[in-house]
Amino acid sequence: METRQEFVAVSETKDDITREQTSGSVTEKKTFRPAAEEADEMPLPSDPKTIFLGGLFLIAFMAVLYVAAEIVLPVVLAIVLKLLLQPLVRLLEDIRIPRGIGALLSVLLVLAAFGGTISLLAGPAAAWAGKLPEAFAKLKDGLGFLHAPIDAMQHMLKQVEGLTGDAEPAAAGPAIRPMSMVGAVLSSSATVTSGILSTLLVLFYLLVSGETFLRRMVEILPRFRDKRQAVELSLHIERDVSAYLVTVSCINAVVGIATGCAMWACGVANPVLWGAVALVLNFVPILGAMAGVVIFLLVSVLSLGVTWWAVLPVGLYFGIHLIEGEFVTPMLLARRFTLNPVALILALIFWYWMWGIPGAILAVPLLAITKIVCDDLRPLRAFGHLLEG
């Protein structure tokens, strides 16, 4: 019996020594590993429990985003705007303007830009929305080979309406539809107004006291090394995301100005409206350009008629988009901020399904923010590498 106990004790001692030697060798390797090798390291999760729990958390998180869209969407939009306006607030703070006043001025700037754009372009946009269906008839009459595709498209749309149950009896339509349309417009207007007010309110407090969360997290961390790493990581992520959003917004503004000038030179009415449309559509890569080509073709037909001259505005818009997408954006954003085209399409489809048109506009900034965060966090670096273009 004693011999057996001594054997077990010796075996346990050997195991402990082996573990100490193994841990010591691993520590020694980590100590003498070059910094560049550690920076390029992309560890993959090997524990099945970690993968399973991470997948469950991701599914639950996406379900919350879908169900609570009315609450989450203004907060997400406020966070993106905060990262966009943070350099402006710090610039004002550097010239001795208090942070609260700088945040208020930034929010008022956003409100003035949004309100001024809506008041300036609402009338022409409504007028063109009523005219665009006429462009299909003009194209159909002017180009005979488009008869069959347009008829097939109209027939398909009618079948889709029948399958989804949107079609209503003709007798009940005149009595019910006007009130339902008014109610829908009023409810959507109220929803949009409340969403804008919520976004601006959250944006103001994020700009004023957004660093409070960082301070509290740093105070919770036990070691000074962890505190310094958390501060450096948060500043790095905020700097990269702000630089990306500011650069992309400036590029899209230049695209909008160039498109408006091209529409004006070609004789298309309301060039400011089409510059704004090009600016917004450029936030949605690939799909935005495809929708822009169709929109500008219809607008050119209405303004210039069914002639070869009507193709010129579309060609100029496509040329501007091609120069921006193939040369300007890769040169300014460099390789670190380029995104995988497959990931872009999947993100557009997913966020459009989640939040509609606002989700499609926010899809690329959210994907870029995800990539930047994953690149800076070592456990998520492999996922960030998959998102790289």
Domain ranges of the chain: 68-143+186-210, 334-389
Cα-flanking dihedrals φ and ψ of residue 210, to 5°?
A: -70, -25
Is residue 285 over pLDDT 90? no
Single-letter amino acid code for the residue at 21: Q
DSSP string, 11-75: HHHHHHHHHHHHHHHHHHHHHHS-HHHHHT-------HHHHHHHHHHHHHHHHHHHHTHHHHHHH
- Which pLDDT value is given to residue 363? 86
Give dist(CA 247, CA 269) in Å, integer.
Answer: 30
pLDDT band, very low/low/confident/very high, at 261 (cuts 50, 70, 90): very high
Among all chains, which residue has been given the structure tokens 């822009």? 292
Residue 243: Cβ within 10 Å count = 16
The whole-number pLDDT of residue 253 equals 92
The mean-pLDDT minimum among 141-150, 223-232, 267-276 falls in: 141-150
Q: What is the pLDDT of residue 256?
A: 92
Distance CA 237, CA 200 (A): 23
Furthest-apart CA pair in the chain: how many Å? 104
pLDDT, tens only, 26-39: 333 334 444 444 55
Cβ proximity of 296 and 318 under 8 Å:
no
pTM of the model: 0.69
User: What CA–CA distance (Å, rounded) separates 359 from 366?
Assistant: 9
Whether residue 354 has pLDDT greater than 80: yes
pLDDT in tens, 172-215: 444 444 444 344 433 445 667 778 888 888 889 888 886 777 78
**Dist CA 322 CA 63 (whole Å):** 37
Centroid of chain to Cα 125: 24
**Which pLDDT belongs to residue 31?**
43
pLDDT tens-place string over residues 138-173: 666 655 555 566 566 666 656 655 554 444 444 444
Q: What is the pLDDT of residue 257?
A: 93
Q: How far apart are CA 260 and CA 272, in angstroms?
A: 6
Nearest CA to 343 among 388, 290, 312? Answer: 388
Query: Which tokens go with 136?
Result: 């299909």
C-alpha span between 133 and 299 (Å, rounded) = 10
Query: What's the pLDDT at 154?
Result: 62
C-beta separation of 80 from 365 below 8 A:
yes
Name the burial class of residue 311, with classes exposed (0-12), middle (13-18) and buried (19+) by CB atoms within 10 angstroms of its CB: middle
Q: What are the backbone dihedrals phi and psi of residue 10, each rounded to the nearest 5 degrees, phi first? A: -65, -40
Backbone angles phi, psi at 165, to 5 degrees: 80, 20
Amino acid 356: pLDDT = 86
- What are 216's two structure tokens? 């509290």
Mean model confidence pLDDT for the chain: 75
Distance CA 371, CA 305 (A): 46
Place of tokens 């399409």: 345
pLDDT at residue 232 tops 60: yes
Measured in degrees and rounded to the nearest 5, phi and psi for residue 259 equal -65, -40
Judge contact between 272 and 109, C-beta under 8 A: no
**328-347 pLDDT, tens digit each:** 887 887 655 677 888 888 88
Q: What is the pLDDT of residues 86-123, one digit of tens each?
A: 888 888 888 888 888 988 998 998 888 888 888 888 78
What stretches of the chain show up as alpha helix (H) in DSSP? Answer: 2-32, 35-39, 48-67, 69-94, 99-142, 147-164, 173-209, 212-220, 224-266, 271-281, 287-304, 311-323, 329-333, 341-355, 357-376, 381-386
Residue 257 half-sphere exposure toward CB, CA atoms < 13 A: 6
Q: How far is CA 147 from CA 130, 141, 305, 385, in A?
A: 22, 8, 17, 47
In three-state secondary structure terms, 387 is coil
Looking at residue 254, what is its pLDDT?
93
Mean pLDDT of 121-126: 80
